[in-house]
Amino acid sequence: MPMPTKGYEYLEHTADAKFRAYGNTLEEAFQNAGVAMFNVMINTGGISDEVSEKIELTSEDLDGLLVDWLSELLYLFEVEQVVFGKFKIDGITEKDGNYSLSAIAYGESLDLSRHKFGTEVKAVTYNSLKVEEITDGWVVQVVVDT
Amino acid sequence: MTDETKTTDAFDLVTKIDDNTWEVPTDYKLGMRVPGRIFVSETLMHGLEKQTLDQVANVATLPGIQRYSMAMPDAHLGYGFPIGGVAAFDKEEGVISPGGVGFDINCGVRLIRTNLQEEDVRPHIKELMSRLFRDIPSGVGSKSRIRASDSELDDAFINGSRWAVEAGYGVEADIEHCEGSGFIEGADPAKVSDKARKRGKPQFGTLGSGNHFLEVQYVDKLYDSDVASTFGLEEGQVTIMIHCGSRGAGHQICTDHLRVLSQAVKKYGIDLPDKQLACAPAQSTEAQNYFKAMACGANYAWANRQVITHWTRGVFERFFGKDMDDLGMDLVYDVAHNVAKLEEHMIDGKKKEVYVHRKGATRAFPPGHHDVPNAYRAVGQPVLIPGSMGTASYVLHGTEAAMDISFGSACHGAGRVMSRSHAKHEFYGEDVRKSLEARGITVKATHPSVIAEEAPGVYKSSSEVVNVVHNVGIAKKVARVLPIGVAKG
């Protein structure tokens, strides 16, 4: 499967936003999923990395970890008022059947006079959720509620 | 862009019951416990995606579902339940599922009447909309002027509309003119996470974004003048419609409990066709904890719409130099359209308590029902159906037929037919704004792309949807209102 150069692509969905994100590694696919989700709301092209947030999560399975990861980013966006554009996941590890993630999200403080938002992402759904290993890496698929 | 949601002719897959009723047979999908019932006209059936039928069928596989998995005429593809989905589950043998409520818990609509006439408002609409847009925060990232304390937040979670009115945001009559008096019993703030509290605290009185709006309208047509008069509506009169929900508080409550319930599914051995349908036996701790938190989210939403109502009245009072009583700014009614409720229904000739899930569907209770306010008890509850931006909205009234056919439910809006991303390719926000302006409709939005995403062309025709509801008889048309000004996130 050829990977889109930007690492993610949007799929048609009537009411919500659906995307696939790719990576040579699982970590990279999760990072690209973060970029894809924020690009539903705003063009992240010009977002700087002056603010960073450290994120540590543990979930019962990989699907859950993906939902928890994106949900955490939405939470931090709303409560800490940071618009994220770049993500660095240090590692996704498995221990006793649980999956953990350690990451840093980079962005800039929300400024409504500068940041022009389109669709608001309300939440991350489990609908059509996929985390799959493919021949040359990983692909994840997510539907977010808008 | 990959096109995965091709419109397939659904006709081969369903059985026609009558002109507006179609059945999804139990052999449509393995594990269906009851058939599906879709209430659409032939025209609307042509536009229905196969995936929407799949979602109706998926809901039919859930334990304890009663009679049918239903979809209202505005049905379209959702996540978990279809949007427009209605299902009732046995209080003991059934389940509760956040997938049947959605993230925006108690997204809903309210209608406020006035004594103003269309001609009193139209010449000033631009200035009026600017003031409403300025005073009522909207859009992504917007914050309220209210900084609620922890105890106020708890109070709002438990008491909904009543909290807002007692805090000075409204009048006593507002409470009774809400579905269920503006709250759901049994809310427990201890089941709401710190994250949800943090998101909810700064957002009282904010509209949000997407399809949410505040609209200044006028009544352009009456279908039933007697019922209209009971609701305080007359031709030419200006009305205000507010459409919004529980904001970040509700989104986080759903996210948190969905996480728990997606694990509970394994514990209780429930086989799910879609993970978003995560659920647990209705009386289990997991399901009850969700229900108590969901009630907090629902109550937050009623408080939110009440605060917005108060500020809207303030703008009108200052603009027209009269107080709200002189302006006749009474709340006609407020309905929830994303919620689960414990209700009593007659099923196979027996009274039964069921958890009715309405996801993008409106409660439509009949004349005489004890949950309909005294003022409307003779005619049934007002059923408020917002149109899309720039199109007609409708006021209907509840009927006894809805209790027989749809667990006392009707549709909730027009229903999308085009994705937001597709809409942005298809329409330019500024063009849409200008064309609405040419039709005498002023639109204020934070950004033109918000207008493009919600262009009238991305929705089904609200009149087609409402006509099906009327013809099936699950609610009857009372009045049509048309927009003059719209404020959007």
Q: Where are the domains of chain B?
A: 11-417+459-483, 428-458
* Chain centroid to CA A127: 16
Cα separation of B409 and B101, whole Å? 14
Q: Give the SS3 label for residue A121.
A: coil
Residue B263 has pLDDT above 90, yes or no: yes
- Per CB-CB distance under 8 Å, the chain A contacts of B77 are 13-15
**Whole-number average pLDDT of chain B:** 94
Residue A3 has pLDDT above 90, yes or no: no
Report CB contact under 8 Å: A119, B210. yes
Report CB contact under 8 Å: B453, A12. no
Residue identified by tokens 């993970």 is B275
Residue at B259: amino acid letter: R
B429, closest residue in chain A (CA to CA):
A118
- Per CB-CB distance under 8 Å, the chain B contacts of A99 are none
Residue identified by tokens 């979670």 is B157
Report CB contact under 8 Å: A117, B416. no
Q: What's the pLDDT at B454?
A: 86
**Whole-number average pLDDT of chain A:** 94
Nearest to B450 among A64, A118, A145 (CB): A118
B52, closest residue in chain A (CA to CA):
A14
- Which of B412, B422, B425, B447 is an active site residue? B412
Q: Which of A88-102, B215-229, B422-436, B469-483 has the lowest mean pLDDT?
A: B422-436
Q: Which residue has the higher pLDDT, B390 or B270?
A: B270
Name the minimum distance, in Å, from the CA of A109 to any CA of chain B: 11
Q: Which of A9, A14, A141 to mutate to test the interface with B (most CBs of B within 10 A)?
A: A14
Cα separation of B273 and B271, whole Å? 7
Q: Residue range A109-129: average pLDDT?
A: 92
Report CB contact under 8 Å: B78, A112. no
Q: What's the pLDDT at A4?
A: 67
Residue identified by tokens 């005429």 is B73
- Per CB-CB distance under 8 Å, the chain A contacts of B104 are 122, 145
Cα separation of A122 and B363, whole Å? 24
A39, closest residue in chain B (CA to CA):
B421
pLDDT tens per residue across span B272-314: 999 999 999 999 999 999 999 999 999 999 999 999 999 999 9
B3, closest residue in chain A (CA to CA):
A12
Residue at B448: amino acid letter: P
Name the minimum distance, in Å, from the CA of B380 to any CA of chain A: 31
Write out the H or E segment, with its range, that includes residue A57: strand A51-59
Nearest to A15 among B4, B83, B198 (CB): B83
Which ipTM score applies to this complex? 0.94
Residue at A115: amino acid letter: H
Cα separation of A70 and A31, whole Å? 10
Q: Which of A11-20, B40-49, B70-79, B248-257 has the lowest mean pLDDT?
A: A11-20
Q: Residue range B97-111: average pLDDT?
A: 97
Q: Which of A100-104, B82-86, B129-133, B271-275 has the lowest mean pLDDT?
A: B271-275
| DSSP at A48 | -
Name the minimum distance, in Å, from the CA of B231 to any CA of chain A: 33
| Burial of B220 (C-beta count, 10 Å sphere; 0-12/13-18/19+) | middle
**What's the pTM value of the predicted model, to 2 decimals?**
0.96
Nearest to B77 among A9, A15, A116 (CB): A15
Q: Residue range B252-258: average pLDDT?
A: 98
Q: What's the pLDDT at B453?
A: 85
Strand B338-347 versus strand B331-336 pairing type:
unpaired
Report CB contact under 8 Å: B141, A115. yes
Task: State the pLDDT confidence band at A2, using cuts at 50, 70 and 90.
Answer: low
Q: Which residue has the higher pLDDT, B425 or A93?
A: A93
| DSSP at A120 | P
Report CB contact under 8 Å: A15, B449. no
Report CB contact under 8 Å: B2, A9. yes
Q: How is residue A55 written in tokens?
A: 């994120």
Q: How many residues does chain A have?
A: 146
Compute CA distances A41 → A122, A130, B64, B136, whole Å. Answer: 10, 22, 39, 21
Cα separation of A36 and B89, whole Å? 37
A124, closest residue in chain B (CA to CA):
B255
Nearest to B210 among A81, A128, A146 (CB): A146
Residues B108, B115 contacting (CB under 8 angstroms): no
Q: What's the pLDDT at B366?
A: 98
- Per CB-CB distance under 8 Å, the chain B contacts of A71 are 255
Interface size A-B, in CB pairs within 8 Å, comes to 125
Cα separation of B249 and B21, whole Å? 37
Please state which CATH number belongs to domain B11-417+459-483: 3.90.1860.10
B91: number of Cβ within 10 Å:
17
Q: What's the pLDDT at B87?
A: 98
Residue B9 has pLDDT above 80, yes or no: no
Contacts 24+ apart (CB under 8 A), A38-42: A38/A73, A38/A77, A38/A83, A38/A84, A38/A85, A39/A8, A40/A10, A40/A118, A40/A119, A40/A121, A40/A144, A40/A146, A41/A117, A41/A118, A41/A119, A41/A120, A41/A121, A41/B140, A42/A83, A42/A115, A42/A116, A42/A117, A42/A118
Name the minimum distance, in Å, from the CA of B106 to any CA of chain A: 14
- Asked if B412 is an active-site residue, the reply is yes
Q: Which of A82, A125, A128, A140 to mutate to test the interface with B (most CBs of B within 10 A)?
A: A125
Q: Which of B255, B257, B416 to mutate to test the interface with A (most CBs of A within 10 A)?
A: B255
pLDDT > 90: what percent of chain B? 85
Residues B84, B270 contacting (CB under 8 angstroms): no
Q: What's the pLDDT at B8?
A: 52
pLDDT tens per residue across span A15-29: 789 999 999 999 999
Residue B359 has pLDDT above 80, yes or no: yes
Q: What's the pLDDT at B281?
A: 98
Residue B7 has pLDDT above 60, yes or no: no
Compute CA distances B472 → B40, B217, B346, B444, B467, whole Å. Answer: 9, 27, 19, 36, 8
- Per CB-CB distance under 8 Å, the chain A contacts of B49 are 14
Residue identified by tokens 């978003």 is B276
Name the minimum distance, in Å, from the CA of A69 to any CA of chain B: 12
Q: How is residue A36 written in tokens?
A: 């894809």
Q: Which of B7, B53, B140, B211 to mutate to test the interface with A (most CBs of A within 10 A)?
A: B140
Nearest to B140 among A9, A120, A123 (CB): A120
Give the 3-state DSSP-derived string for chain B, with helices as H, strands as E and coil as C.
CECCCCCCCCHHHCEEEECCEEEECHHHCCCCCCCEEECCCHHHHHHCCHHHHHHHHHHCCCCCECCCEEEEEEEECCCCCCEEEEEEEECCCCEECHHHCCCCCCCEEEEEEEEEEHHHHHHHHHHHHHHHHHHCCCCCCCCCCCCCCHHHHHHHHHHCHHHHHHCCCCCHHHHHCCHHHHCCCCCCHHHCCHHHHHHHHHHCCCCCCCCCEEEEEEEEEECCHHHHHHCCCCCCEEEEEEEECCHHHHHHHHHHHHHHHHHHHHHCCCCCCCHHHCCEECCCHHHHHHHHHHHHHHHHHHHHHHHHHHHHHHHHHHHHCCCCCCCCCCEEEEEECEEEEEEEEEECCEEEEEEEEEECCEECCCCCCCCCCHHHCCCCCEEEECCCCCCCEEEEEECHHHHHHCCCEECCCCCECCCHHHHHHHCCHHHHHHHHHHCCCEEEECCHHHHHHCCHHHECCHHHHHHHHHHHCCEEEEEEEEEEEEEEC
Cα separation of A65 and A58, whole Å? 7
Residues B60, B83 contacting (CB under 8 angstroms): no
Cα separation of A123 and A40, whole Å? 12
Residues B402, B380 contacting (CB under 8 angstroms): no
For the domain A15-145, what is the CATH superfamily, name and number? Archease domain (3.55.10.10)
Q: What's the pLDDT at B2?
A: 40
- Per CB-CB distance under 8 Å, the chain A contacts of B422 are 12
- Per CB-CB distance under 8 Å, the chain B contacts of A74 are 251
Name the minimum distance, in Å, from the CA of A144 to any CA of chain B: 9
Q: Residue range B376-390: average pLDDT?
A: 94
Name the minimum distance, in Å, from the CA of A9 to any CA of chain B: 7
Task: State the pLDDT confidence band at B5, using cuts at 50, 70 and 90.
Answer: very low
Residue B4 has pLDDT above 70, yes or no: no
Nearest to B208 among A18, A64, A120 (CB): A120
Report CB contact under 8 Å: A110, B447. no
B202, closest residue in chain A (CA to CA):
A79
Residue A142 has pLDDT above 90, yes or no: yes
